[in-house]
Amino acid sequence: MKLKALIIDDEPLAHKVILEYAKNIPFLDIVSQCHLATEAMGILREKEIDLIFLDINMPKIKGLDFLRTLNHKPIVIITSAYEEYALESFELEVCDYLLKPFRFERFFKAANKASETFQLTQVKSHVPNSNENETNSSHLFIKSDKKLIQIDLNDIYFLESYGNYVKVWMKEEYHLTARTLSSFIGKIPETKFFRIHKSYIINKLHIDYIEGNSVMMKNAKLLAIGKNQRQDFKRFIEY
C-alpha cells in the first residue's frame, strides 16, 4: 500500500529534492504540493493524505503552528534547515526530523519509519477490540537494541519521551525504543498508567509521593505534572 504524501514548503528547490527522492521509493506517492501552510488546509479537506513533509519557517503561518491547528494529524516528517526546532517538533509527535540538506539515505530511512507507523495504524483499525486485548495483557513487547523484549507492565515505573524515542524506565535502568509516547496509549491499562505531562506516562503503582506540581517515583526520579494534566491527574489518583 502506497503512502499518499503532501509537501508543504515555501522553497521550490525543497519540492524538487523530495520529488526526486520519492521517485525511487515504491511505497511513496506525492499526490499534492503547496508552498504555504494556509494552502494545505484545503488540500487536507479534499484529499486523503497519509504523510506530510512539512517545512517550519514559512510565510504567514509557521509549520509547527500549522501542525497545532490539526485535530486529526497525518504522519508528519519535518524538513527544516534549523535544528533548534527538533525537540519542539518531537513533542508534537512528528515521525522524523530531516535537517536540510539531507541525503537520499536519510530520506529513505524517514520514509521507511513513516511506512511502519502507517502499517501499524492500519493493522489496529482492522483488528476488532485490539485496544481491549492489548490493555488486558499483563506484558508489553518493545523493540530495543535490535531485540524484541517482553516486559511485565508492573515492572514499568514510567515512560519518558526522548526525541523520536521513548525510554521505558524500570527501577534503575531503562530500555530505549524507537516510537512515540502516544503509541503506548491503548497498549497499557488506563487504570494504572496516566500521562502526567507531554513527556511522561507514569505507573500509579510506583508513585512514592506527590508534592506541588511534581511526582516523586519510587526509583527517585522527580517528574513534572503538566499544567493541562493537573486536574485530570488529581481525579486519577483519587479513583
| pTM, rounded to two decimals | 0.56
Going residue by residue through the chain, which has 239 residues, state the pLDDT in tens, using 9 for 90 and above. 789 999 999 999 999 999 999 999 999 999 999 999 999 988 998 889 999 999 999 998 999 999 998 877 899 999 999 999 998 898 888 999 999 999 999 999 999 999 988 877 665 444 444 444 444 457 888 888 878 888 899 999 999 998 889 999 998 899 999 888 888 887 888 889 999 999 999 999 999 999 999 999 999 999 999 988 998 898 888 75
Query: Are 14 and 79 contacting, i.e. CB atoms less than 8 angstroms apart?
Result: yes
What is d(CA 165, CA 92) in angstroms, rounded to the nearest whole number? 13
> Of the candidates 52, 88, 96, which has an alpha carbon nearest to the alpha carbon of residue 70?
52
